[in-house]
Structure 1
Amino acid sequence: MDTIYYLASCDTCRKIIKSLPKDVELVFHDIRQDPLTEEILEKMHSLSGSYEALFSKRAQLYKQRNLKNQTLTENDYKALILEHYTFLSRPVFIIKNEIFIGNSQPNILKLMKTLENV
């Protein structure tokens, strides 16, 4: 089933969800209420090609822990995403085995185009 991984308290996620076509059927997975499992993260990784692509460098914990001054490996990114939901770049859509990560304008436009054809 097509799924969105999001944060219900995130204004940007809510705005994107409101803009989705009304007839699209998605499973909504709030990552704060229902944290990501390693299995789900592995699926995201297989579609995206890297944990770094799934990682949010905008997370407040990223700055608080001074992670920008460290050299992080793929295993570090994976561990951090599993440790705390804020490290996942949001929202993440998985539509027909295609992944859309984050809220950049080009990404959301590509998502919308894909959803029109579902």
Structure 2
Amino acid sequence: MSRTIIVTDRAPQAIGPYSQAVKVDKTIYASGQIPLDPATGELVPGDIATQARRVFDNLQAVVDAGGGTFSDVVRVTIYLTNLGNFGDVNGVMMEYFKPPYPARATVGVASLPRGAQVEVDLVAVLD
């Protein structure tokens, strides 16, 4: 088994004791990303769509650093502080993913780090 820690400055640095992602053989396990600007480490201002785009941009940078693309993503988990934002986040996700879509779960949560409205993690399997 080959295990590699994925690190990129194109995504925010971890704000706790975890890695941005871990690659095991051909599988990338990306940690949850919240809408932090990688340059400043600050939460991006704006509505849920703006925050979701930042999250997916961050995840795309991590997957890229692991040698993959979003077409390699097989599983996504979305955490929302307001499930009323489900439709808006779906719309943003469709900007980043094309059919066939990855498997997905959406979970309503009471709160997220730094007051974020959305967090997303994913698993990608490289060809």
Per the normalisation by structure 1, the TM-score is: 0.28
Greater fraction helix: 1
**Higher strand fraction: Structure 1 or Structure 2?**
2
